[in-house]
Structure 1
Amino acid sequence: MTRYSLHEIFVVDQYSSDNWEKEPHNHNYFEIIFIENGRGYHTINGIKTPYHPKNIFLLAPEDTHHFEVLQPSTFTYFKFTELLFSSKVNLPDRKYWLQRIEQLLHHPNIIPGDVICKEDDRAIVWDIHDLVLKEFKNEKIYYQEIISNAISTILSLIVRNISEKHNYEGDSKVASPSKIDQILSHIRQNVYDNERTKINFLSNKFNMSQSSISTYFRKKTGESIHQYVTKYRMKLVEYRLQHTEFTIAEIAYQLGYTDESHLTKTFKKYFNMSPKQYRDEVSTSSVND
């Protein structure tokens, strides 16, 4: 089996400029961008927001972005590919990495901008940033494990801040999200836990009767809660079949299915093929490309 070194799947890039010379562009990896100093504007997927020292941005694959530099600026990029979640890479906690990334990719109603809203968390992330730079440069014993765990912690903090930011708790100046947005956000963050996505749990959490929340959800989304949860899980199964080497049994366990056959039966309803057939087809396509 092929093994990848950390430098093949994780890259640190530092860039200073008083004029952004690159055209708007996208990429096929994730980026965490740290603003060391300077001021200007950052446009992600057509949405323009100001940037300031100590801001932190997250880019997912296929995001398009560019900077407009108003004051000389220094940027640090942590870039990593989906191979980081592959079993070809001998790094710890692949399943938990993947869950964090999926939460970031699928969190509803996120407007591109600084991803940290809690200043104590910002200080922690910047301390970890300094640690990663030091380990990446020195390459001392266990540096790969230290860096992988450090980036995992950063992602966890980003997920927490995005969740808190979009719950708008204690912020009277910003309109509260609608009830349906709160329900969707809860489902997406707890999709790995069967109990927390059941109607009885949701009705208790959102202070609605089971019949009321079922009717409300269908009216707002056009689907039942069960249909939505199942369809969302299928998106995650599809993502893991494409981008990881987890076995189908492992994926079934990770997403709360009783066994591989249960997952296969559900997957066939949505994709008209088994998970194995789907993965084989994706692999053939990649080779041909």
Structure 2
Amino acid sequence: MNRYTLHETFVVHQYAIDEWEAEPHNHNYFEIIFVEKGSGYHTINGVRFAYSENNIFLLAPEDTHHFEIEKHSKFTYFKFTELLFSSKVNLPDRKYWLQRIEQLLHHPNIIPGDVICHEEDRNIIWDIHNVVLDEFKNEKNYYQEIISNAISTILSIIMRNISEKYTSNQREILVGNTKIDQILGHIRQNVYDNDLTKINFLANKFNMSQSSISTYFKRKTGESIHQYVTKYKMKLVEYRLQHTEFTIAEIAYQLGYTDESHLTKTFKKHFAMSPKQYRKEMTIEAG
């Protein structure tokens, strides 16, 4: 096994094995797994898929997985956290990347398995994979920035393919996902923009009156629209406190709160502690 590290925000592991000895496990970072050779089965969150040469898998924090190897296999793992992108001082860029990842993390219908559906995209990602390994090995000028941008590009291509796989799957299986599914999907995708999750906007978008959409939503979910949006935002706040170094003020800005105190007040109602206290406790537990 070869292991490379970039200040622990980005780690590369390479394995060439005939038998997978590790128990099913999860972790607190993202993994992009490249299958360089071999075949067998890969189980992600209890769902079993055949794998083969050139497959690419994406694992999110808390995902559980293991391999069953039938033919001698070689894997390369890119393991990273959001801190890999912290050198990008342009906050909107980092915020956009994080939004895309959160949509992946919290989307209830993402299809697991090999993440690529377009072979030309697969070829591009493998080429970038080779660039990343070369930059690690040689550590030329600006290699850290090159690796950060390379991983960002890989993730964008993966997200494009996952979105297309999910959309095509919905067309095949669901003649019409229910209106509540459509409303919930819209909220999750646009939760960062308060105007797009207001009742008047939702009523207009889904051709309902404000009173009827409110009643319908409450009947289907057991919560008001405002309660659902707030709880969903709290889930995102919790994730960012655990996995990023954004300040509380930055998180408040990113999620559409007027200021840090507004976010803190809402967070306390849900977690019985302030965001700063929550982050401190998570840091102590992780230590």
TM-score normalised by the chain length of structure 2:
0.85
Structure 1: gaps spanning 5 or more residues = none
Structural RMSD (CA): 2.6
| Structure 2 counterparts to residues 9-158 of structure 1, below 5 A | 9-84=9-84, 89-92=86-89, 93-158=93-158
**Residue type of the alignment partner of 2:210:** Q
Aligned residue for 1:192? Answer: 192
Shift in CA distance, 176/282, structure 1 to aligned 2, threshold 3 Å: same
Aligned residue for 1:250? Answer: 250
Partner Cα separation in structure 1 for residue 174 and residue 276 of structure 2: 46
1:147-181 CA-to-partner distances (Å, cap 9, x unmatched) read 11111122223233333322337843665544333
Partner Cα separation in structure 1 for residue 176 and residue 19 of structure 2: 38
Q: Which has the higher contact order (CA 8 A, sep 6+)?
A: 1
Q: Secondary structure at the match of 2:262?
A: helix
Paired residues of 1:167 and 1:177 also in contact (CA < 8 A): no
Partner Cα separation in structure 1 for residue 80 and residue 275 of structure 2: 26
Paired residues of 2:33 and 2:76 also in contact (CA < 8 A): yes
CA shift for structure 1 position 114: 1.5
Shift in CA distance, 161/176, structure 1 to aligned 2, threshold 3 Å: farther
CA shift for structure 1 position 217: 2.2
Structure 2: gaps spanning 5 or more residues = none
Paired residues of 2:83 and 2:245 also in contact (CA < 8 A): no
| Structure 2 counterparts to residues 130-279 of structure 1, below 5 A | 130-168=130-168, 171-172=171-172, 176-279=176-279
Partner Cα separation in structure 1 for residue 226 and residue 69 of structure 2: 47
1:61-85 CA-to-partner distances (Å, cap 9, x unmatched) read 2322111223333222111135436
1:94-142 CA-to-partner distances (Å, cap 9, x unmatched) read 4333323322211112242122234443333223222222222221111
Partner Cα separation in structure 1 for residue 45 and residue 55 of structure 2: 18
Shift in CA distance, 266/131, structure 1 to aligned 2, threshold 3 Å: same
Partner Cα separation in structure 2 for residue 182 and residue 128 of structure 1: 35
Q: Secondary structure at the match of 1:166?
A: helix
Shift in CA distance, 117/164, structure 1 to aligned 2, threshold 3 Å: same
Partner Cα separation in structure 2 for residue 179 and residue 167 of structure 1: 16
CA shift for structure 1 position 146: 1.1
Q: Secondary structure at the match of 1:151?
A: helix
Q: Secondary structure at the match of 2:168?
A: coil
CA shift for structure 1 position 274: 2.6
Q: Secondary structure at the match of 1:16?
A: strand
Partner Cα separation in structure 1 for residue 9 and residue 217 of structure 2: 41
